[in-house]
Amino acid sequence: MKELEGKGEPLVLREDLFLGHGVHKAAYIDPRDSSRCVKVVFRMPDYDLMKEMEYRRSRRRRGLPSKLLPAYYGTVETDKGMGYVFERVVDYDGQSSKTLAEIFNGSTERGMGFPDTEDILSRLREMLFRERVIMRDAECGNIMLQRLSEDGGFTVRIVDNIGTHAHIPIVYYVDYFATKHVKKYWHRLLERIQRNYPGVLQDELKQRLW
C-alpha cells in the first residue's frame, strides 16, 4: 500500500465529515478532496481490510480494471488512526449515493430519478459477471447505486466485503472458479433481497435474473 502523506501532522477528520460506519470501519469525507473518503479501522489488524487489499493487488497484477470497485489511493495518518483513502461514491449532484438497502427499504424517494428494480439488478448482474468481482458476502448495504445524470443514467458500485477469506485464493487467478464464485454469491444476493425486502423481487423477475 502506498502512502499519500509524508510525516507531519495527522489529517483531522472532523465530525461534520462523518459519512457512516460499519462493524469494523468508520468513513469520513476527505477534508483535502471531497471526491474521496477516508476509512478508519476500529481495531488493527483488520483481516477484512487485509483481504480486500490482497484482492486489489491481485487484480492490479493481472491488469484487471474495475468499474464496480471504487478506486483506492493509499493510506494516510489521521487523528483517529490509520486512514485508507478511497474514491467517494457520489451522485451527479454531489450527494452521497444510496445503498441498495436504503433504496429497497423505501427510505429514499424512488420517483427522484431512481431506476426500477429490474434495471438496477440487471446492470449489477452484467457488471458482476463481466468483471468477476469476488465478494465475501452478499449484502445490499455494501452495494451503491450511483446516479450519473438527472435523466436517469446510473451505475452500481461495490464498496465493502470484497475478496475472500480462503487460505489459497484460487478465485483470484483462475477465471473458471471466479465465475463459479460470482454465480454463487449472485444467487445468494437474490435470495436475500427476496427474503429481506418483501415485494421488491417477485418470483418471475427473480427467475429472469437468476
Among 87, 113, 141, the domain boundary falls at: 87
Tens digits of residue pLDDT in 144-157: 999 999 988 999 99
Same domain for 46 and 102, yes or no, is: no
Task: Return the pLDDT at 107.
Answer: 58
Assess whether 39 and 62 both reside in one domain: yes
Q: Which residues pair with 36 in a beta bridge?
A: 87
One domain, residues 108 and 202: yes
Based on the domain organization, do 168 and 81 belong to the same domain? Answer: no
pLDDT of residue 114: 76
Range of the domain at 83: 15-87
Q: Mind listing the pLDDT tens digit for each residue in 94-123?
A: 999 999 999 999 855 555 567 899 999 999
Q: Is residue 176 part of a domain?
A: yes
- Cβ distance 115 to 152 under 8 Å? yes
Question: 117 and 165: one domain?
Answer: yes
Of 30, 135, 125, 32, whose CA–CA distance to 84 is shortest? 30
Same domain, 109 and 203: yes
| Domain end call among 87, 110, 140 | 87
Domain count, the chain: 2
Compute the distance between CA of residue 192 and CA of residue 159 in angstroms, rounded to an integer.
18
- 117 and 77 in one domain? no
50 and 114 share one domain: no
